[in-house]
Structure 1
Amino acid sequence: MLDSIQSRGYDITRLTFDMGYNHAMSGDFHKGLRERGIPNVQEYREEQKGITNGVGGAKFVEGDYYCPGTATKHLDATVDYDKAKGAISERQWRDNLAERWKFALHLKDVKANGKVRLSCPALGPSATVSCPIRDIHPRAFRGKREPGQVLKKDLPKRWAETAVCCQDSITVHPDEFLTEQQKYRYGSDTWLAVYKTDRNVVESVNNTLKSDFRVDLNSERRMRGLAASQYVVTFKAAALNYKRIADYARAQLRKAEKETRRYNPTPIRAGVKLPATDIKPAERKVRSRDRHGWSDYGRNRKKFHSVEVKPDVTSEG
């Protein structure tokens, strides 16, 4: 289906699915999405939350690689939030995530073969954490938010032998832990808004499809067998798509007719002639400062050459 959509010239900006779909599909499904350039947005299953893997000492947590010196309470923020069952608020959980993101490894570059190089978050002028085993760059933390702090007690015992702690970067294959990678950072404002919106749309469509035909109840199915049910649902999905297109076209026609009636009123009784109306669409009001280009806030404003005015200094005496 995805190949059919792309073959007709449409761009698929993302594919959003829940835990059930994520559990049913294997890693080949996620690899196929990557090969087609389709990012995904997903909810994690219980076993996919918290520390699940790692490379070169870096810990892989919910789609990102993190410094091995990241505090456990931040790495297990989602696990603790689920176990608390209300004792930890969503705001506290997301605050812990925001603090953890400071410890995420930075993207250094991408090789020609697709492999990714990641660097320690305490290196360079764009450092986001301060670490006792890394020298701070002179331009780091200037005018930025408060950096994360790696505590000595959280450092690996053999940090000198840990690749991410003693090298400039580590190399990661893009297909590593592919089933847990997604377009937006899990738990962020963007992820939450996109995931909830997409899931609401999907559930709305499902509700419409099932409104007059309960495909989930064996006793009310009009046809028996999985293949027959899929056949019927396919036709219902196609009919729903046609209905939405027709509803949109009908709404556009009604909008155009409404505008026409506004400027050409119909008489109540036949044979009655109404005077011609001179009503015109209301013009968009523009402030004089924007109309004449006097403001620095206008979009695409006209630029003027600045002229330096020297002070009038007169000699005394």
Structure 2
Amino acid sequence: MSDAMRPPPPPARKGKAKTPLGKKKYLYGYDAHLIVTRDTEHDAVLLDDGTPNPDVLPVVVLGVTLDKPGQRPAYNGLAVLDRLQERGYKPGYLAGDRAYNNSEPAEWQLPIRAMGYKPVYDYRADQLGEQNGTQGAILVEGRWYCPSMPKPLINATIDLHAERIDRETWIRLIAARRGYRLMPKQNADADGYQRMMCPAEAGKAQCSLKPHTMGRGPVKVCRQHAITIGPEAGAKQWQSLEYDGPQWQKIYFRLRNSVEGYNGYAKNPLAEAIEAAGSRRIRGIAASRPRPSSWPSSSPTPTAARS
């Protein structure tokens, strides 16, 4: 830290020090980035005798990194995920707070997809509705759709937040989107490229723009039988589940609630008490080197990240 950035020395007089007008008070601390595993298909419901269900995987912290507050969330998240991959942990659904999915795609979204994770994101209010496009297809709240999808369906979540529609109407509009969703023709390849068909080609809808009906369409997704969508297209917002749909809610909130629960446990003065300064007798980050033999060679696939 340069001299210009250092806080002023305390006053020489006795009594409680006061911060002079125009001066900033500096506080020091770290962000903890936790990687937590969670069974996304089952809740941890106890058996009738009060014991844990052995068929439900427990919530476990698999890794932690520390850094300056608000700094490099993507870098820190990937640092832990890389170590887990080296130890043989399998990728699964991946959820985190918005600090991660608002990173640059090359720093977070593309690397985690290349590692095999299936992202499940939440969005800010200004990120809802149509987010991106490629070859005529449009990305709406993380999924690819036909460009002919009506505006009321595209803006359904925006209208819900603005209280222009009620939740029951929103549910109906979201369900109607499925008829306009692009359908996968094949699984994504090792580089993340995937062939996708418009719903008319997939037999899910009728479209006057298809060549075998009433002429050629104006954009590639309408002219061709299928298009190839690469991982870079809409990378920042793309996700593997329909945003706020039933499966998204089940998986996203299970992952996020597990991480928030561990955050509370770590800060609880009767548990880990990481906020208690009296328990930290040294300054800085204490170095630790885990023994490789102490780590299991495989893991459950669901994983969650938190800054």
SS in 1 for 2:256: helix
Residue in 2 aligned with 1:143? none
**1:117-128 pair list within 5 angstroms:** 117-123=195-201, 126-128=202-204
CA spacing shift, 1:192–1:111, aligned 2, 3 Å: closer
Q: What's the offset of the Cα at 1:103?
A: 0.2
2:172 to 95, 103, 106: 95
**Is 1:130–1:136's contact at 8 Å kept on the other side of the alignment?**
no
The 5 Å alignment of 1:125-144 reads 126-134=202-210
Give the % identical residues: 29
Deviation of the 1:16 alpha carbon:
1.0
Q: Which amino acid aligns with 1:60?
A: L
Match of 2:57 in 1: none
Contact kept in structure 1, 2:211 and 2:223, CA below 8 Å: no
The counterpart of 2:263, out of the listed 206, 211, 217, is 206
Q: CA RMSD in A?
A: 3.3
Q: What are the ranges of 5 or more consecutive residues in structure 1 without an aligned counterpart?
A: 138-157, 239-317
C-alpha distance in 2, partners of 1:196/1:77? 21
Match of 2:120 among 34, 41, 58: 41
Query: Is the contact between residue 122 and residue 136 of structure 1 (CA under 8 Å) also seen in structure 2?
Result: no
Residue type of the partner of 1:57? G
Match of 2:147 in 1: 68
CA distance change for structure 1 residues 187 and 105 in 2, over 3 Å: closer, same or farther?
A: same
Structure 1, residues 15-69: CA drift from partner, whole Å, max 9, x if none? 2112243235654211211221122212112332111211122211112221111
Aligned-residue offset at 1:73 = 0.4
8 Å Cα contact 1:63/1:186 also seen in 2: yes
1:167 aligns with 2:224: yes
Of the three residues 77, 80, 83, the one matched with 1:4 is 83
Three-state SS of the structure 2 residue aligned to 1:28 is: coil
The Cα shift of 1:112 comes to 7.6
The TM-score with structure 1 as length reference comes to 0.56
Matched, 1:106 2:163: no
Higher Cα Rg: structure 1 or 2?
1
Question: Is the 2:133–2:233 Cα contact (8 Å) retained in structure 1?
Answer: no
- Structure 1 or 2: more strand by fraction: 2
Distance of aligned partners of 1:192 and 1:91 in 2 relative to their CA distance in 1, 3 Å threshold: farther
Question: Given residue 122 of structure 1, which amino acid in structure 2 is its aligned partner?
Answer: A
Equivalents in 2 of 1:134, 1:13: separation in Å?
37
Q: 2:137 aligns with which of 45, 49, 58?
A: 58
Counterpart Cα distance in 2 of 1:200 and 1:194:
10
Counterpart of 1:31, as a letter, is L
Contact 2:101 2:237 in 1 (8 A): no
Question: Aligned-pair distance for 1:96?
Answer: 1.1
Structure 2 gap ranges (5+): 1-79, 291-307
Q: For 2:158 and 2:87, how far apart are their aligned partners in 1? A: 42
CA contact (8 A) 2:131 2:237 kept: no
Deviation at 1:206, TM superposition (A): 0.6
**1:196 alignment partner AA:** F
Counterpart secondary structure, 1:52:
strand
**Alignment partner, residue 302 of structure 2:** none
State the match for 1:184 in structure 2: 241
Pair 1:21 & 2:97 matched: no
Distance 1:92 1:11 in 2: 39
Could you tell me how far 1:5 is from its partner in structure 2?
Answer: 1.6
- Give the partner amino acid of 1:127: G
- TM-score after normalising by structure 2: 0.58
Query: Would you say the 8 A contact 1:41–1:182 is kept in 2?
Result: yes
Work out which structure has the larger RCO, using CA pairs closer than 8 Å and 6 or more positions apart in sequence: 2
Alignment map for 1:228-239 (pairs within 5 Å): 228=284
User: Within 2, Cα distance between the matches of 1:15 and 1:231?
Assistant: 28
Superposition deviation, residue 192 in structure 1: 0.5
Distance 1:46 1:27, change over 3 A: farther
C-alpha distance in 2 between matches for 1:165 and 1:173: 18
Structure 2 CA distance, aligned partners of 1:48 and 1:186?
A: 12
Structure 1 stretches (4+) deviating beyond 6 angstroms?
Answer: none
